[in-house]
Chain A
């Protein structure tokens, strides 16, 4: 089977970065089969950069849906700042521009010895290298009273799409004066600043449309990423409208009762008009198959290659992987995907794996024109990921409004650029 049309070949050649030209070395074509599971920021990026690094690779991307709705900016969609349609990408460009085979199915079973993967449509795919980037799943066993059915009443909205729409409808239907409760989980979970950006933007929506209402964050933790910046902004923008209850002050949610409409903490009971339960999470099922998570819920990987520490020839990137201190962010997934793609091509060629270029930046919107950020650069020492000293930090905490407006504009620009890099 020919993986390339003539048009695809020239289109790909034109989009190749100068890497190959600059290095000038004749490169062995490996013609290997790589299967990538998960069409988000990790998987889509990895499939694309594998083909850029070695156009002889046969790359198959397995992802359930023909469209991908991003979690980044879904908090903005939640409060009507932009339509969900504007957060939707397809795989057309990856298929037509990069010659990636796209299969819409669930990856169900893997055989790490025979090196094959079975899909929900009955197909079995053989691979030389497998990349798993399936993201997270909500744990329905972690919080009393909270399961898939309960999430239709108290949405988590932690996977963008129907859950986002559901929570949006509830916020719109709520009467002025209502209480919105957001429950934030213990670390690790997808998008560490996400619950706080969400609380901020809901507060912005309420301030504008339903000013007698209130947002309450019930948190299992006593601190969170960018907390200094968030807390300062809340004091200024949303006084009396947004309250954060840390774990030490009884913030941990211990039980929900969707029938009675009640959210319980250790000491208190709330009856909110809208409850958003961001439940504890773990790596999606396929990344926990065959002991890939070593029983912990998340997947241990080698720092330079993102190859599983449990099974050879399986690489795990994005939210499912343990890449601490890198956060579970879209940026991390996109970045790890490139490092992983380069490592896979080097391994297939029998070449040494280069030291990885790892970094992360997370923007959060506190209001439409008020952005904050955190970033870091990482190195790998003794197979473990470390923050490069001095490279980790937030944007200035006491910055003027012009800086905050600039960061909000940067956040929007970041979204356009990372989605172009991933899906375009």
Chain B
């Protein structure tokens, strides 16, 4: 029940750019793409940073900083520029939703 409330809360926090359902599908689609480097559901093995333990704030901030070149990465500057603001929100929401499950 507690997990459901957290989930619901994270869904309600999504900006009203589109319906929560379509944003989540978009978020899941990008998260699946991320999995090739960061591991399934962001659970990375080895040097590539894991995504499943990042707070939504840290995730969003990192993506924006890569996008604006404020932060120098290796591949992430290119990748972040390929995602729209709405894409970044959607994938942030996705990882925010799986985070409580990973931390149990």
Q: Which of A14-22, A57-65, A220-228 lies at the interface?
A: A14-22
Q: Is A307 interfacial (CB-CB < 8 Å)?
A: no
Interface string of B9-49 (1 = CB under 8 A from A): 00100000000110011111111110111111100111110
Q: Report how far A331 CA is from B79 CA in the complex, Å.
A: 14
* Chain A residues closer than 8 Å to B75, beta-carbon distance: 361, 373, 375, 395, 410
In the complex, A396 has a CB within 8 A of chain B: yes
List CB contacts (< 8 Å) of B71-85 with chain A.
72, 74-75, 77-79, 81-83
Q: Is A413 an interface residue (CB 8 A)?
A: yes
Query: In the complex, which residues of chain A have a beta carbon less than 8 angstroms from the beta carbon of B81?
Result: 377, 388, 390-391
Closest CB in chain B relative to A23 CB, distance in Å: 5
Secondary structure class of chain B's binding surface, majority of residues: helix
Q: Check if B59 is an interface residue, CB within 8 A of chain A.
A: no
B47 touches A412 (CB 8 A): yes
Residues of A within 8 A of B (CB): 17-19, 21-25, 49, 331, 334-335, 338-339, 342, 354, 356-359, 361, 373, 375-378, 388, 390-393, 395-396, 403, 406-407, 409-410, 412-414, 416-418, 420-421, 424
Q: Which of B7, B27, B31, B82 contacts A21 (CB 8 A)?
A: B7
B33 touches A396 (CB 8 A): no
Whether B74 and A403, one on each chain, are in contact in the complex, defined by CB atoms closer than 8 angstroms, is yes
Contacts of B51-77 to chain A: CB distance below 8 A = 72, 74-75, 77
- Which residues from chain B contact A49 at a C-beta distance below 8 Å? 32
The 6 closest A-B CB pairs, nearest first, are A377-B82, A413-B46, A391-B82, A409-B47, A22-B24, A417-B39
- Given the known inter-chain contacts A388-B82, A395-B75, A407-B74, please indicate yes or no for A421 contacting B39, CB distance below 8 A: yes
B7 touching A356 by the CB < 8 A rule? no
**In the assembly, what is the distance between CA of A292 and CA of B7, in Å?**
45
Q: Could you say which of B27, B31, B33, B45 contacts A413, with CB atoms under 8 Å apart?
A: B45
Closest to B10 in A: A22
Q: Contact partner of A406 among B20, B47, B79, B97, CB < 8 A?
A: B47
| Min C-beta distance of A349 to chain B, whole Å | 13
Inter-subunit contact A354/B21 (CB<8 Å)? no
A401 to chain B, nearest CB (A): 13
User: How many residues from B make CB contacts under 8 Å with A?
Assistant: 40
Whether B78 lies near A376 (C-beta < 8 A) is: yes
Q: A22-B24, A413-B44, A421-B40 are in contact. Are A376 and B82 (CB under 8 A)?
A: yes
User: B41 to nearest A CB, angstroms?
Assistant: 6
Q: Which of A339, A377, A420 contacts B39 (CB 8 A)?
A: A420
Of B39, B45, B98, which is within 8 A of A17 by CB? B98
Whether the Cβ atoms of A22 and B83 lie closer than 8 Å is no
Q: Are A358 and B78 in contact (CB under 8 A)?
A: no
Q: How far is the CB of B51 from chain A (nearest CB, A)?
A: 11
Q: Can you list 18 A-B pairs with a CB-CB distance of less than 8 A? A: A21-B97, A22-B24, A23-B25, A338-B29, A357-B29, A358-B33, A359-B33, A361-B79, A375-B78, A377-B83, A391-B79, A392-B78, A393-B78, A413-B45, A416-B46, A417-B35, A417-B39, A417-B40
Q: How long is the Cα–Cα vector from A254 to B25 in the complex, in angstroms? A: 50
Name the CB-closest residue of A to B42. Answer: A417
Distance A414 CA – B20 CA, assembled complex (angstroms) = 31
Beyond A377-B79, A396-B74, 5 additional contacts (C-beta under 8 Å) are: A17-B31, A21-B97, A359-B82, A395-B74, A413-B45
- Check if A413 sits within 8 Å of B48, measured CB to CB: yes
Once the chains are docked, how many angstroms separate the CA of A324 from the CA of B72?
A: 28
Once A17-B41, A331-B36 are accepted as A-B contacts, the answer to whether A357 and B78 lie under 8 Å apart by CB is no
Choose from A23, A357, A375, A377 the contact partner of B32 (Cβ within 8 Å): A357
B33→A357 contact, CB < 8 A: yes
Nearest CB in chain A to that of B101: its residue = A18
Q: Are B72 and A396 in contact (CB under 8 A)?
A: yes
Give the CA-CA distance A388 to B94 in the complex, in Å. Answer: 22
Please give, as numbers and ranges, the residues of chain B lying within 8 Å of A403 by CB-CB distance: 74
